[in-house]
Chain A
C-alpha cells in the first residue's frame, strides 16, 4: 500500500518535472525568438560564408603568431595568479581545516560570488579600469581561475582522509605544520590537476577576450570579421584550434601522470 503510494508519487514528480522543462524550453525560445525555421533560413548564408573562408590566408599565420603567443601568455599568467590566491581561500573555506563557521562561511560566500561572474564580463569590467590590452585580460582570467580552482580545491580538501590530520595533531604539530604535512600531500595532485584543467579553459577564454578589448588574438578575429577578410578569419580559427588541441593534449598527459 505504502510502496504503491510512493511509486505513484515519484511518477507524479517525474511528470511534473517533464512538463516544467517543456514549458521552460518553450518560454525561452519565445523570449529569444529562436525557431527551427529561422535556423533553416540561415543555413544557405552559413554555407556561402564557409566558401568565402576558403582557402585560408596562409601568409597571415606568421602575422598572428605574436598575438597568439600573447594569448597563451595571458592564460598562463592568469591561471598562475588565480591558483596562488585560490590556495589560502580554499583552505580557509574548508570545514575540516578551519573549525569556525564565522571564518569559513564568509570565505565560501566570496568564492561563490566571484564564481558566478563570467570571464567575458570580468574582462569588460577590467578594460575601463586597466585600459585596453592584455593587462585587463590577465586580471579577468586571474579572477575567473581563482573562482574555478578555489571551489574545486576546497571541495577536494573537504573530502580528504581525516586520519593523517589526527596523526599530525597527535604528533604536536602546529596549525601550519598540520596543514603542510596533513592536508597538502593529500590534495596537491588534484590541485595541480585542477590548475591545468583551468589553464585549458583559459586558453579558450583568452582567445575571445580580445572582443572586449582585453588583448590576445580575439582582437584580430574581431577586426578581420568586421573587414570581411574571411580567409584571414579562417586562418585565425585554424590556428586557435591547433593551439588548443596541442595544449589540451599536453595538459591531459600531465594530468594522467598525476593520478
Chain B
C-alpha cells in the first residue's frame, strides 16, 4: 500500500507541485493519474520513490515511511518500486540483458555487481522477465537496436527483474505509436493482474485511461480533484479535471 499524508511539494522557484495531497493506493490496484500538462502528475509519481523530495508531509510504503528512510533503508524501499519512464531510460550501448540485470543490483554486494558476477538464478530471473514481455530472443542485442516499443518493454522487464511490488510509469506510451502503445499497456495490465503488482500510470489519453485503469485519479494544480473507480469517471468528470471539455487529440482513437 502507498499512502500520501498531507504531502506538500514546493519547487525551489516557488511553484506548488503538490498541494496537501492525501491518498491511499491499495495492493493490486491499477491506478491511472490524469490531468492537464503541468498539473503535477510527474511530481506525484516521482515523490513516491523520492526522485523528487517533498517539502512536507509523509509518504508511507507498506507501513514504512520512505520519507524518513536514510541510506540503505532508502535503497531498500526503492528496490521494491520499479519505474518506467517516457524515454525508456535504458543504457543504449549495453545489451538488453545487462539493462534488465541492472534491476538486480540492489540485491547484491557492490563488488559482485561491479564485476558483473550475477548468480545463475539472477540471469534466469532476467530472462524470465524478458519472456514475460516477449523479448527473450533479444536478450543479447544492443538496446539501441530495438524499436521504441521494444525498448519500453525492456524497461518493464527491468522493473520485473527488480521483483518490484509497485510499478510507477510516467507517460510510458507518450513517445510510441498507437499499436505499440497497446502492446506496452497490455503488458503492464497483464503483469498487474498476474503478479498482483500495484501499478500507477500517468497518462494523457482519456480513452486509454478508461480502458486500463481500475481507478482514476484526477489532478489539477497539484491537488487531487477526482478519485474514484473507472466506472465513475464520466466525460463530465474528465471535463471537470481538465477544467474544459475533453478535446479530440486527448483520445488515442483520434490518432489511429
* B110: chain A residues within 8 A (beta carbon): 174, 176-177
Complex alpha-carbon distance, A215 and B103, angstroms: 50
| Of listed A163, A167, A177, A180, residue having the most chain B CB within 10 A | A167
Decide: A180 near B162, CB < 8 A? Known: A163-B87, A171-B79, A185-B93. Answer: no
Does B78 lie at the interface of the complex (its beta carbon under 8 Å from any beta carbon of A)?
yes
Interchain CB contact under 8 A, A167 and B85: yes
Complex-state Cα separation, A180 to B116, whole angstroms: 10
Does A137 sit within 8 A of B, measured CB to CB?
A: no
Q: How far is the CA of A156 from the CA of B39 in the complex (A)?
A: 35
A245 nearest CB across to chain B (Å): 31
Q: A168 is contacted by which of B87, B88, B102, B155 (Cβ under 8 Å)?
A: B102
* Nearest CB of chain A from residue B131's CB, rounded to whole Å: 20
B interface, how many residues as a size bin?
Answer: 20 to 34
Identify the closest chain B residue to A173 (Cβ).
B105
Q: Cβ of B81 < 8 Å from any Cβ of A?
A: yes
Contact B105–A167 (Cβ < 8 Å)? no
Q: Which of A163, A166, A174 contacts B75 (CB 8 A)?
A: A174
Contacting pair A180 B113 (CB below 8 A) = yes
- Once the chains are docked, how many angstroms separate the CA of A161 from the CA of B87? 11
CA distance A173 to B106 in the complex (A): 5
Interface residues of B in 64-88 (CB under 8 A from A): 75-83, 85, 87-88
A171 engages B91 (CB within 8 Å): no
Given A164-B90, A181-B105, A172 and B75 touching (CB < 8 A)? yes
Is the Cβ of B79 less than 8 Å from the Cβ of A172? Answer: yes
Question: Are A167 and B93 in touch, CB under 8 angstroms?
Answer: no
Q: Which residue of B lies closest to A169 (CB)?
A: B51
Known contacts A172-B75, A177-B105; is A182 also within 8 Å of B114 by CB? no
State how many angstroms separate the Cβ of A173 from the closest Cβ of chain B. Answer: 5
CA gap between A189 and B98 in the complex, in Å: 17
B89 at the interface (CB under 8 A from A): yes
Q: Which A residues are in CB contact (< 8 Å) with B81?
A: 170
Chain B residues with CB under 8 Å of A167's CB are 83, 85, 89-90, 102, 155, 158
User: Is residue A240 within 8 Å, beta carbon to beta carbon, of the partner chain?
Assistant: no
* A116, B28: Cα distance in complex, Å: 60
Counting CB contacts under 8 A, is A135 at the interface? Answer: no
Closest partner residue, chain B, to A175 (CB atom): B110
Cβ-closest chain B residue relative to A167: B89
Bound complex: CA A163 to CA B94 (Å): 14
B93 pairs with A186, CB closer than 8 A: yes
A163 adjacent to B88 (CB under 8 Å): yes
A180 CA to B112 CA, complexed, in Å = 12
